[in-house]
Amino acid sequence: MLAWATIPINDFLCAGEPGKFRSSSWGLRLFCRDCGTQIAYREVENAKTVDINIVTLDDPEKIVPEYHIWTHSQLDWFDVRDDLPRHEDSGPDQ
């Protein structure tokens, strides 16, 4: 499981200059140049938002989840025990 926070791209600040990897024709991944940890994902062109890997934040507990996405690919043994809405696809992020 990977927890993300989606924010407007203009609000995204990163300490230092992250490495960049174009993982597809539409996606750009940002990572720590020192340890390789994936920090964020954004679209290459006309990006309005950036998805931040919340465990990379100084205080990830401040992020409160609103829903689960991509549940169609959830592992059989993984069980999330909360009452948040679930979406088989990207849900409201579309």
- Condensed to tens digits (0 to 9), the pLDDT of residues 36-83 reads 999 999 999 999 999 999 999 899 999 998 888 888 898 989 888 899
Q: Distance between CA atoms of 1 and 3, rounded to whole angstroms?
A: 7
- pTM summary value: 0.79
37-43: long-range contacts, CB 8 A cutoff, minimum separation 24: 39/14, 40/12, 40/14, 41/4, 42/9
